[in-house]
């Protein structure tokens, strides 16, 4: 492996060994504290446009398999690791971590002081970077222009309708960059699922005759999708709706709420959230850089259902009169705990009740 460098727009440079395929793309440098799940993370569409730093020191020790990808493409713009294991030991492993990056055309750096890098990220809160060779160190002044959030969503969202036949109820997933595990969680409950592009209008969704609609996770700033708010509002007023991560933020914004960018975001598999109705604390998987703001506009239409134990931020909301709820965390996990998987069953029960009423009226 040849020498490579992570160059931050703030001037810091971190040395390492190049892995993957160098493409000179810039991205926001973020970190995840999870101890496992690196394959799911690099294929999670919510990481599109970001250079992901793994806090856990050893990455690649159980290789990469044919089952755990969360999308059909490796989504990250780059990867930073401390100790790269290129001799994996797991009976399901079909290739090395570095092979996955190379085949996907994604650059990476190994043997980086990730502890120092994470401290630097926390100091700057938001910082862009690019992975380069030594010969590029003096020629990166034009690398810091970020790809717009709308373009990121457009890149990871499906371009065609996909249908998975099952039983009842029928759920439509609005795809802003959905994770495969969300689809699997719904199918495991026995329902039918149709995945549609995020640009689908209310009339297009209604023509599919769903019993419920799920707004998926995805990358970037939710305000970049402001043009879709009016259609989302119509959908939520007609069908039981569940929002996850970006979908949670979009629901809040649609009803006049606000979002803000966090200093470092929540990315990891052990984030505690308190369910306010029961008082129980659930451990959750999270991956986001924006949060919903708790203010008068939000509380006009929603009650807070979950709150982050560590920093008090809003982690879940329920509409006061409509069967609409959303959560900032990932109830499907992968990687992470399944403490909140029951939310899918609650959502599907709402869809069954609502669907039954519509059929009776028809």
Active site residues: 245, 330, 332
Q: Which residues are within 8 A (CB) of 112 and not within 5 positions of it... i.e. 6 or more apart?
A: 6, 14, 15, 16, 53, 80, 81, 82
CA angle 251-254-257, nearest 5°? 85
Q: Which residues are within 8 A (CB) of 53 and not within 5 positions of it... i.e. 6 or more apart?
A: 29, 30, 31, 32, 79, 80, 81, 112, 114, 117, 118, 121
Residue 87 CA to its chain's centroid (Å): 29
Contact between residue 178 and residue 75 where contact means Cβ atoms under 8 Å apart:
no
Among 80, 79, 86, which Cα is nearest to 106's? 79
What distance in Å separates the CA atoms of residue 27 and residue 107, rounded to the nearest whole number? 11
Q: Which residues pair with 4 in a beta bridge?
A: 16
Among 289, 285, 329, which Cα is nearest to 305's? 329
Chain position carrying tokens 């069953």 = 345
Chain position carrying tokens 């999670």 = 44
Measured in residues, the chain has a length of: 362
What distance in Å separates the CA atoms of residue 312 and residue 274, rounded to the nearest whole number? 9
Exposed e or buried b per residue across 9-34, where buried means at least 16 C-beta atoms within 10 angstroms of its C-beta: beebebebebbbebeebbbbbbbbeb
């Amino acid at each position: 492996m040849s020498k490579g460098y992570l160059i931050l727009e703030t001037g810091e440079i971190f040395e390492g060994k190049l892995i993957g395929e160098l493409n000179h793309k810039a991205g926001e440098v973020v970190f995840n504290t999870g101890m496992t799940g690196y394959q799911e993370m690099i294929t999670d569409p919510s990481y599109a446009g970001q250079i992901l730093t793994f806090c856990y020191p050893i990455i690649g020790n159980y290789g990469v398999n044919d089952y755990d990808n969360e999308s059909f493409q490796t989504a990250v713009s780059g990867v930073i690791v401390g100790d790269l294991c290129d001799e994996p030991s797991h009976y399901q492993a079909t290739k090395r971590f570095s092979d996955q990056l190379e085949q996907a055309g994604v650059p990476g750096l190994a043997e980086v002081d990730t502890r120092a890098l994470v401290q630097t990220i926390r100091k700057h809160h938001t910082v862009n970077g690019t992975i380069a060779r030594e010969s590029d160190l003096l020629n990166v002044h034009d690398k810091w222009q970020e790809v717009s959030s709308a373009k990121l969503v457009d890149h990871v969202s499906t371009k065609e309708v996909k249908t998975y036949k099952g039983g009842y109820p029928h759920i439509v997933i609005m795809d802003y960059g959905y994770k495969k595990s969300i689809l699997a969680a719904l199918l495991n409950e026995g329902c039918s699922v149709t995945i549609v592009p995020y640009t689908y209008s209310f009339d297009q969704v209604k023509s599919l005759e769903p019993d419920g609609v799920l707004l998926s996770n995805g990358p970037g700033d939710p305000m970049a999708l402001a043009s879709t708010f009016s259609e989302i509002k119509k959908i939520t007023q007609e069908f039981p709706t569940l929002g996850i991560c970006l979908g949670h933020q979009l629901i809040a914004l649609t009803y006049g709420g606000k979002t803000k960018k966090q200093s470092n975001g929540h990315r990891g598999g052990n984030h505690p959230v308190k369910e306010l109705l029961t008082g129980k604390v659930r451990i959750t998987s999270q991956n986001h850089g924006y949060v919903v703001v708790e203010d008068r506009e939000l509380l006009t239409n929603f009650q807070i259902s979950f709150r982050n134990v560590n920093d008090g931020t809003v982690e879940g909301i329920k509409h006061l009169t409509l069967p609409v709820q959303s959560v900032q965390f990932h109830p499907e996990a992968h990687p992470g705990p399944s403490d909140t998987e029951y939310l899918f069953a609650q959502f599907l029960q709402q869809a069954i009740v609502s669907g039954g009423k519509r059929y009776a009226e028809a």
